[in-house]
Structure 1
Amino acid sequence: MPSLKHYLLSGLIILGSAVAGGAQATNWTGYTYSSVSTTAAVKGMERIADRVDKETDGDLSITLHLGKTLQIASSDITQATGDGIVDFAADLYFSGNVPIARILNLPLLINNDEEWNKAYAVMEPYLQKGFDAQGVTYLGSYRYPQQVIFTTFKMASLDDLADHKIRVTSPEQGAFVEAFGGSPITLSGSEVPTALERGVIDGVLTASAGGAKNWHEFLPYNYRLPVNYAYSAVIANTSAHAALDDATRQTLDRIVSQETQQITQDFIVDEKTQKQQQADAGMTIIEADPADIERAEKKMAPWWREWAKQAGPEHEKALAAVLQALGK
């Protein structure tokens, strides 16, 4: 017959196992749309994962997977996060799921850092609400440099866009190209080099530290008219985020806030570096005529309002608030 000591020891072992089980680390699956590990965006996401593991003493660990290493299309990242297929993600292609976010992408609406900060302050609650409806918690975002015009043909003014085929990454960029007589074409990033080589497209809208970093050899001209900004949301599955203990959740949120700001700054620095390197390699870089920028903004302003009207009352309300903040 087992002794009292045996029962006590068994109870202690069971209790110890329960305590140990309760202290087990939370392991999250992370994902980013980018498949290039050397970009400021991926480096920043890796820093988030490293810092979270260290600063929570291993209570939360995030295994980050690069784009295309999981069977998740770039346009499906928001849904995959909401469904719990991944717990944490960087999502550049979220506007199909959160359409109101496109206000910050409208061409010629936002022309500098100061304007971005004012517009973003207005839009942040709308972003939080939009992602919340998808079962996703919006933790913050980082911003790419301004999207400018790179071409295979000489371009010195907006008039030179006419009759040329330009690769765009959004309907909003497409509207800009069409407004000045060009033809917008949507292609994945992997298709761009071949399309440029074969003349399927004559140019792209991107940044020096973005697509031009990889495609500059096909793009001898750069007209630096600031068309719009692109930005990526950093998100988490709402249930997984809520299940974290308060200290861990606060640590994660703080780190994401700090690192998204750093990613944006790293992109700004890299934009200057890449622009100079591209010039040194022979690219003809022309700063946009201020009169061209003013003309482009006046051309697109009525379109912003029409776009919002077609999208619905909430979009109209949000755009009106952004325009008021920008004094436009």
Structure 2
Amino acid sequence: MTRLITAAALAALITAPAAAEELAVVGSWSGLPLHKQYEAPFWTEALPAATNGALTAQLTTHDQMGLGLGDVYRLLGDGVYDVAMTVADYAVADAPELEGLDVPLVATTADEARAMVDAARPMVEDIFRDRFNSKVLAIAPYPPQVVFCNADIGGLDDLAGKKIRGSGRMTTKFLEALGAEGVNVAFSEVPGALQRGVVDCAVTGAGSGYSAGWWEVSTHLLPIPLGGWDPVVTAINLDRWNSLDAATQTALQTAIKEKFEDPAWASAQDALTNDIACLTGNGACAAGEARSMTLVEATDADTAKAREILETEVLPAWAERAGADWAKRWNDTVGAAVGVSIAAQ
């Protein structure tokens, strides 16, 4: 297990000066806005202030530690650290039912996405308790997962035949149903893959792509949310959680909702508009220098076709992987919230 962690990062976690309620925290991608704007300020500043010093945190990130993405929650459950946060889709090999948290195309606004996440949250809490020995503290969004292409495209149909990196398993299944070839490429490796032609297109959040420089190796941007919102789950090891007294548990839950989760959601909708402006030059870019990618607007026909593929192929295939009980539970919660139902198999 420890071979997955750099020696220096592991030593920093386990040899830090003891503190009664200091949490060893592993954040998500260090270079992306969610971590820089919300995660890091919360754990290092807002949490100690909100709890009058009752809780502090020692923070690193999974990429700084060299963790395999599929190992983040496994190691959390084993108690290697106290708190971890990363994209839920990274854990679906261990928990295929978790795919139901982030379904492509059913939420086109931040309000709709949060309603979907709120409906799914009891399911997610059960999954994390049973699969990863942990308790969910927060679920925050990356921006909608859109399509970057280093190829001339004019709409959804032009993705057929392309090699495309998906942002999660359900997204990859959708792309394959569309006639594309799904390619598994790590986020950090995408720019090189686009440049070398290993992939023609790749899916990620518009802001993430801007921050990571995908505009340098992409020409066209299709802002249809083929990859959903890539929710990032923050969870605490269940044994560590149970070791906290009730007052400290309440303080942590209140602080993380008010100082991290709610602000991250509040900024999510405007973030997409601003990120598209930064990538294409269509509007002012508050984050820095605007780039000049070609904006490919999705048509009503694109949206209708994508939704049909989702409902007739992608969701039924997920129901087979997750099982009938999870499909029914999804229908009764998330499906009811977004107006989609998986037909009984």
TM-score by length of 1: 0.86
Aligned match of 2:297: 287
- 1:68-114 Cα offsets, whole Å, 9 max, x none, are 33353221111111111110121212333333221132233333334
Partner SS, residue 145 of structure 1:
coil
Q: Relative to structure 2, which stretch is displaced further, 137-146 or 95-104?
A: 95-104
- Which residue of 207, 210, 232 maps to 2:208? 210
1:120 and 2:117 aligned? yes
1:60 is matched by which residue type in structure 2? L
The 8 Å contact of residues 167 and 230 in structure 2, kept in 1 or not, is answered as no
The 8 Å contact of residues 25 and 58 in structure 1, kept in 2 or not, is answered as no
CA drift at 1:202: 0.7
Partner SS, residue 302 of structure 1:
helix
Residues in 2 aligned to 1:269 and 1:325: alpha-carbon distance in whole angstroms:
22
Residues in 2 aligned to 1:270 and 1:111: alpha-carbon distance in whole angstroms:
13
Aligned positions of 1:189-208 closer than 5 A: 189-208=187-206
Change (3 A) 1:218 1:251: same
Aligned positions of 1:262-301 closer than 5 A: 262-280=263-281, 281-301=291-311
CA RMSD of aligned residues (A): 2.0
> What is the aligned-residue identity percentage?
24
Residues in 2 aligned to 1:271 and 1:118: alpha-carbon distance in whole angstroms:
18
Aligned match of 1:255: 255
Partner SS, residue 30 of structure 2:
coil
1:225 is matched by which residue type in structure 2? I
Aligned positions of 1:66-77 closer than 5 A: 66-77=61-72
Listed as ranges, the gaps of 5+ residues in structure 2 are 1-18, 282-290, 341-345
Partner SS, residue 91 of structure 1:
strand
Residues in 2 aligned to 1:158 and 1:68: alpha-carbon distance in whole angstroms:
32
1:317 is matched by which residue type in structure 2? K
The 8 Å contact of residues 144 and 267 in structure 1, kept in 2 or not, is answered as yes
**Could you say which structure has the larger radius of gyration?**
1
Partner SS, residue 144 of structure 1:
coil
Q: Relative to structure 2, which stretch is displaced further, 278-287 or 68-77?
A: 68-77
The 8 Å contact of residues 210 and 278 in structure 2, kept in 1 or not, is answered as no
Change (3 A) 1:41 1:180: same
Aligned match of 1:6: none
Partner SS, residue 153 of structure 2:
coil
Partner SS, residue 198 of structure 2:
coil
- 1:193-251 Cα offsets, whole Å, 9 max, x none, are 11111111111111210124321111111112221221100110111112112222111
Count of residues in correspondence between the two structures: 305
The 8 Å contact of residues 146 and 226 in structure 1, kept in 2 or not, is answered as yes
CA drift at 1:257: 1.1
Residues in 1 aligned to 2:279 and 2:251: alpha-carbon distance in whole angstroms:
40
Residues in 2 aligned to 1:274 and 1:299: alpha-carbon distance in whole angstroms:
27
Aligned positions of 1:73-152 closer than 5 A: 73-92=68-87, 93-133=90-130, 134-152=132-150
Partner SS, residue 166 of structure 1:
strand
TM-score by length of 2: 0.82
Aligned match of 2:319: 308
- Which residue of 3, 28, 31 maps to 1:33? 28
Residues in 2 aligned to 1:150 and 1:156: alpha-carbon distance in whole angstroms:
12
